[in-house]
Amino acid sequence: MKLKKRSSYYLANIAVFILLSVIFIIPFIYILLMAAKSSKEAALLQFSLPSQFLFLENLKAVIVFGDYRMFRALLNSTLLTVGSVALIVVFAALFAFVSQRKKDKLASVLMSLLMIGLMIPPAVVPTIFLLRSLKIYKTMFGMIMIDVALFMPFATMIFRTAMSTIPRDLDEASFIDGATPLTIFFSVILPLLKPAIVTVVVTTSVNIFNDFVGPLYFLPGAKNITAPLTLYSFISQFSTQWNLLFANVVVVSVIPLIIFIFFQRQLVSGMMGGAVKG
Amino acid sequence: MKKNTIQKGLLKTYPNWFYLPAVITFAIFFVIPTISAFYFSLTRWTLFDATFIGFDNYVSFLSDPMLSIGLKNTFIYAILTSGLKTVLALPLAVMLTSNIRFKGFYRSIVFFPVLVSTIAVGITFSILMQPNSGLINVVLGSIGLGQPDWLGNPKLALYSVVFVDVWKGIGIATVIYMAGILAIPNDYFDAMKLEGGFWIRFRHVIIPLVRNSTFTIILLSFIGGLRSFDLIWAMTGGGPGFASDVLTSVIYKQYQAGFYGLSTAGNVILFIMVTVLIFPLRRFFNSREIEL
């Protein structure tokens, strides 16, 4: 009886292992295999080991392609991500700090306004029109401001939840010590918001780095290319060189992965904490 | 200091100008374009001048089957992706919080697709779904099953993209459910241990007590589904024909063609659709939230 139970436990474990591995790992192995093939072999689209291992050669070809276009794309994406995320964290935390502490009419009206941004997608052509009128269309600055506006509501929500776990006595104590609002914010509140900041930094930077729609509409132009758009132009230019296309997939997927691995431990606890409380 | 002065001083500790950076950015770059969209959707618009034409854009949107199919598909896409993510993520989360082996490994692989660019996922799957030499059909063929043209068959294309969307997004839903399950106090499980097996626990403890997570997941993925663009664009481009066009891809196509007024009308229809569907849903969920 006991033996039977045990073996069915192992069988279930094996079944789960195979099922999840097939569904979630095979596509990534396929990407790596394709990225290591010659263009002739890759054209067969088979799930097989390459006869010659050309992984590094293909990576190099992708990076060199188009006068080192990939470098420009990674640089642009990094600038966009770092710039937007830095502004988002400061703006959203300032907002969440005051609105969670005051809880008056103004706070709740402004909060509901921001929450609309969580639901409603941006109006594409009117936004382009606005950027053109401000003479910042096709500029990194314009794109950063758009991303700040679009991704800030989520950050504000996370920070507000986290603010409610920071006791008000702390503000009071620093006030009695003679601290100004800005000192309280930067030296008391921000350090305590760290877990929430990690959550916001990781999720928002992965989302902005991988964002395709924003740069497609608001940052067109060859010199403005970002990481996901390198893939898109690859399809139209080299629809037959699958090996290079997949090498390109590998290159643009590495940075989000690094961000994630770097913060993984703090992220899971931050996300779990937020979800439980929220 | 007296309590009263402290209170007054504290109010100064929370100055209203702290709102300004967030509110100004949001107002300029989100609110202004959103409101002006309502006006521009009533015009024939070249970006340099706009001629008022009343509701013509909306009439063509709703009467031209090429455009109105986007409306129907957006709805189908949002319902299916959010429904499937919710239903599939719960058993996955229960498993990943149980005492199964290799838990950490499973958590990582389920979450990994979330981190990868949607365009990359779309390209990869459109190749895996190639009708003849794509891996999926090769496997189906080798075990003697049919080999559908996943993305080339107009009746199937939208659903194939739905499948990939669920594959990519289920990691988030699973993490939210895992948080919900881990937050259930142990007393509930202890009380049920005497009563019966796994199914009873699942049905009578887990499902009711992760209700808040369920609401969050449905809302998040429903909104995501209504707004989704990049995956569909990378996999089918709205095709074959217009079979898998959604509102966002119609908006993009009209924008590319230079019909800015028409494109903006599509945008407004999307606003209205989101508002009409999401606000009542949110209110309903809020009224039924539970405290653990």
Distance from CA of B135 to the nearest CA of A (A): 7
List of chain A residues whose C-beta atoms are within 8 Å of the C-beta of residue B10: 171-172, 175
User: In this model, does residue A274 exceed pLDDT 60?
Assistant: no
More confident residue, A90 or A267: A90
Residue B32 lies in a domain: no
Q: Could you report the predicted ipTM of this complex, rounded to two decimals?
A: 0.88
With cut-offs at 50, 70 and 90, classify the pLDDT of residue A271: low
* Residue A236 confidence (pLDDT): 67
Name, of A41-50, B65-74, B127-136, B220-229, the range with top average pLDDT: B220-229
More confident residue, B31 or A271: B31
Structure token pair of residue B163: 């499948």
* Residue B254 confidence (pLDDT): 92
Q: Between residues 146 and 175 of chain B, which touch chain A (CB distance below 8 Å)?
A: 167, 175
User: In this model, does residue B11 exceed pLDDT 50?
Assistant: yes
Question: Of A123, A252, A271, which is closest to B33 when you measure between CB atoms?
Answer: A123
Q: Between residues 141 and 160 of chain A, which touch chain B (CB distance below 8 Å)?
A: 145-146, 148-150, 152-153, 156
- The answer to whether A104 contacts chain B (CB < 8 Å) is no
Q: What is the mean pLDDT of residues B20-38?
A: 96
List of chain A residues whose C-beta atoms are within 8 Å of the C-beta of residue B47: 125, 128-129, 132
How far is Cα A42 from Cα A58, in angstroms, rounded to an integer? 12
Q: What is the CATH number of the domain that holds A226?
A: 1.10.3720.10
- Which letter does DSSP use for residue B16 in this model? G
- B123 and A94 within 8 Å at the Cβ level: the answer is no
With cut-offs at 50, 70 and 90, classify the pLDDT of residue B9: low
Q: Is A66 left (phi over 0), alpha (psi -120 to 50) or beta?
A: left
Tell me how far apart the terminal alpha carbons of chain A are, to the nearest angstrom. Answer: 45
For tokens 């989302």, what's the residue?
A207
Least Cα distance to A34 among A8, A58, A63 occurs for A58
Distance from CA of A54 to the nearest CA of B (A): 19
Q: What is the mean pLDDT of residues A84-104?
A: 94
Distance from CA of A188 to the nearest CA of B (A): 12
Q: What is the mean pLDDT of residues A94-119?
A: 91
Q: How many CA atoms lie within 13 A of B231 on its CB side?
A: 27
Question: Percentage of chain A surpassing pLDDT 70?
Answer: 91
How far is Cα B213 from Cα B92, in angstroms, rounded to an integer? 14
- Which letter does DSSP use for residue B204 in this model? I
More confident residue, B98 or A273: B98
Mean pLDDT, rounded, of chain A = 88
* Residue B171 confidence (pLDDT): 93
- Which letter does DSSP use for residue B44 in this model? E
User: In this model, does residue B279 exceed pLDDT 80?
Assistant: yes
Q: What is the mean pLDDT of residues B218-228?
A: 94
User: In this model, does residue B231 exceed pLDDT 90?
Assistant: yes
* Residue A248 confidence (pLDDT): 92
Answer whether B108's CB lies under 8 Å from A20's CB. no
Query: What is the torsional sign of CA A162, A195, B225, A82?
Result: positive
User: In this model, does residue A1 exceed pLDDT 50?
Assistant: no
* Residue A39 confidence (pLDDT): 85
Answer whether B125's CB lies under 8 Å from B235's CB. yes
Hey, of A11, A109, A120, A211, which one would you mutate to test binding to chain B, going by the most B CBs within 10 A of its CB?
A120
Question: Of B119, B128, B133, which is closest to A212 when you measure between CB atoms?
Answer: B119
Residue B205 lies in a domain: yes
- The answer to whether A60 contacts chain B (CB < 8 Å) is no
Q: What is the mean pLDDT of residues B224-228?
A: 94
* Residue A267 confidence (pLDDT): 66
Q: What is the CATH number of the domain that holds B84?
A: 1.10.3720.10
How far is Cα B234 from Cα A232, in angstroms, rounded to an integer? 8
pLDDT of B139-183, one tens digit each?
899 888 888 899 999 999 999 999 999 999 999 999 999 988 888
User: In this model, does residue A42 exceed pLDDT 50?
Assistant: yes
Distance from CA of A67 to the nearest CA of B (A): 22
- The answer to whether A64 contacts chain B (CB < 8 Å) is no
With cut-offs at 50, 70 and 90, classify the pLDDT of residue A277: very low
How far is Cα A270 from Cα B46, in angstroms, rounded to an integer? 47
pLDDT of B39-71, one tens digit each?
999 999 988 888 899 899 999 888 888 888 999
Beta bridge partners of B50: B45
How far is Cα B113 from Cα A276, in angstroms, rounded to an integer? 24
* Residue B2 confidence (pLDDT): 56
How far is Cα B31 from Cα A185, in angstroms, rounded to an integer? 27
How far is Cα B85 from Cα B171, in angstroms, rounded to an integer? 9
Residue B150 has a CB neighbour count (10 Å cut-off) of 24
* Structural domain containing residue A260: 62-277
Domain total for chain B? Answer: 1
The residues near A240 (Cβ < 8 Å, ≥ 6 apart) are A39, A43
Hey, of A129, A183, A187, A235, which one would you mutate to test binding to chain B, going by the most B CBs within 10 A of its CB?
A129
- The separation between CA B138 and the C-alpha centre of its own chain, rounded to angstroms, equals 31
Answer whether A214's CB lies under 8 Å from A131's CB. no
- A249 and B179 within 8 Å at the Cβ level: the answer is no
Residue B35 lies in a domain: no
* Structural domain containing residue B242: 55-287
Domain total for chain A? Answer: 1
Annotate chain A with DSSP letters as a single string: -HHHHHHHHHHHHHHHHHHHHHHHHHHHHHHHHHHTS-HHHHTTT-SS--SS--HHHHHHHHHHHHHHHHHHHHHHHHHHHHHHHHHHHHHHHHHHHHHHHH-SHHHHHHHHHHHHHHHSPP-HHHHHHHHHHTT-TTSHHHHHHHHHHHHHHHHHHHHHHHHTTS-HHHHHHHHHTT--HHHIIIIIIHHHTHHHHHHHHHHHHHHHHH--HHHHHHS-SGGG--HHHHHHHHHHH-TT-HHHHHHHHHHHHHHHHHHHHHHHHHHHHHHHHHHHH-
Give the type of residue at A246.
Answer: F
More confident residue, A233 or A70: A70
Question: What 3-state DSSP class applies to B13?
Answer: helix
